[in-house]
Chains A and B, each alone.
Chain A
Amino acid sequence: MHLDVLDQELMCSGHVGCPGCGATIAMRFFLKALGEKTVMVLPACCWSVIAGPYPQSTLKIPVIHSAFETGGATASGVRAALDMRGDKDTTVVTWAGDGGTFDIGFQALSGAVERNEDFIYVCYDNEAYMNTGIQRSSSTPYGAWTTTTPGTDWKRLRKKNIVEALVAHRIPYAATANIAFPEDLVRKARKAKSIKGSKFLHIFASCPTGWRIPSEMSIKIARMAVQTNIFPLYEVEDGVRYTINYKPREYLVREYFKLQGRFRHLTDQDLDAIQEMVNEDWQLLLRKAGEHA
Chain B
Amino acid sequence: MKRVLEGSHAVAEAVRLARIQVISAYPITPQTHIVEILSDYCASGKMNARFLRVESEHSCLAALIGAQSTGVRTFTATSSQGLALMHELLHWASGARLPIVMAEVNRALAPGWNIWTDQSDSLAQRDTGWMQFYCEDAQEVLDTMLMAYRLAEMVNLPAMVVLDAFFLSHTYEPVDVPEQEEVDRFLPAYVPEFRLDTAHPFALSPLVAPNAYMEMRREIAAAMDEALERLDSVEEKFAGIFGRRYGAVEAVCCDDADIVLVTSGTVTSTARILLEELRAKGEKIGILKIKLFRPFPVEAIRRALAGAKKIAVVDRNFSFGATGIFAQELRAALCNVPDHPPVFGFIAGLGGRDITTEVLASIVEQTKTADAPPAESIWIGLTEAAYAFGRP
Q: Which residues of A contact B (CB under 8 A)?
A: 36-39, 41, 48-49, 51-55, 57, 59-67, 69-70, 72-85, 90, 107-108, 110-112, 114-115
B89: chain A residues at CB < 8 Å are 67, 70
Tell me the complex Cα distance, A73–B63, Å.
Answer: 5
Stretch at the interface among B123-131, B193-201, B264-272, B368-376: B193-201
Tell me the complex Cα distance, A74–B74, Å.
Answer: 13
B21: chain A residues at CB < 8 Å are 81, 84
In angstroms, how far is the closest chain A Cβ from the Cβ of B231? 28
Q: Give 11 A-B contacts (CB < 8 Å), ordered by A residue.
A: A37-B198, A57-B206, A59-B203, A62-B196, A64-B66, A66-B65, A76-B59, A77-B62, A77-B69, A108-B62, A115-B52
- B34 interface residue (CB < 8 Å to A): no
The 8 closest A-B pairs by CB, nearest first: A77-B66, A111-B55, A81-B70, A73-B59, A70-B62, A77-B63, A77-B67, A73-B62
- Other than A59-B203, A67-B92, A84-B72, give 13 A-B pairs with Cβ distance below 8 A: A36-B198, A51-B206, A51-B207, A66-B65, A70-B58, A72-B59, A74-B63, A77-B66, A77-B74, A78-B196, A83-B50, A90-B198, A111-B54
Given known pairs A77-B24, A77-B52, A83-B50, the reply for A69 and B198 (CB within 8 Å) is: no
In angstroms, how far is the closest chain B Cβ from the Cβ of A72? 7
Find B67's partner among A38, A59, A81 (CB 8 Å cutoff): A81
- B207 and A54: CB pair below 8 A? yes
Name the residue among A41, A48, A67 with the largest chain B CB count within 10 angstroms: A67
Flag B172-210 by CB within 8 Å of A: 1 or 0 each.
000000000000000000000000111011111111110
Tally chain B residues at the interface, Cβ within 8 Å.
43
- A67 and B198: CB pair below 8 A? no
In angstroms, how far is the closest chain A Cβ from the Cβ of B63? 4
Flag B1-28 by CB within 8 Å of A: 1 or 0 each.
0000000000000000000011010000
- A73 and B71: CB pair below 8 A? no
Tell me the complex Cα distance, A270–B288, Å.
Answer: 73
In angstroms, how far is the closest chain A Cβ from the Cβ of B65? 6
B197: chain A residues at CB < 8 Å are 62
Closest to B207 in A: A53
Closest to B89 in A: A67
A72: chain B residues at CB < 8 Å are 59
- B114 interface residue (CB < 8 Å to A): no
Given known pairs A62-B197, A64-B205, A74-B65, the reply for A108 and B72 (CB within 8 Å) is: no
- B60 interface residue (CB < 8 Å to A): yes
In angstroms, how far is the closest chain A Cβ from the Cβ of B70? 3
Given known pairs A53-B208, A107-B59, A110-B55, the reply for A85 and B72 (CB within 8 Å) is: yes
Tell me the complex Cα distance, A72–B59, Å.
Answer: 8
- B196 and A39: CB pair below 8 A? yes
Name the residue among B60, B65, B198 with the largest chain A CB count within 10 angstroms: B198
In angstroms, how far is the closest chain B Cβ from the Cβ of A117? 9
In angstroms, how far is the closest chain B Cβ from the Cβ of A273? 37
In angstroms, how far is the closest chain B Cβ from the Cβ of A256? 34
Name the residue among A38, A64, A115 with the largest chain B CB count within 10 angstroms: A64
- A81 and B71: CB pair below 8 A? yes
Tell me the complex Cα distance, A29–B124, Å.
Answer: 45
In angstroms, how far is the closest chain B Cβ from the Cβ of A193? 14
- A64 and B54: CB pair below 8 A? no
Find A54's partner among B58, B88, B206 (CB 8 Å cutoff): B206
- B196 and A64: CB pair below 8 A? yes
Tell me the complex Cα distance, A69–B48, Å.
Answer: 29
List B residues 39-80 near A (Cβ within 8 Å): 48-50, 52-56, 58-60, 62-72, 74
B65: chain A residues at CB < 8 Å are 64, 66, 70, 74, 77
Tell me the complex Cα distance, A55–B92, Å.
Answer: 18
Name the residue among B58, B66, B67 with the largest chain A CB count within 10 angstroms: B66
Given known pairs A57-B203, A63-B203, the reply for A74 and B62 (CB within 8 Å) is: yes
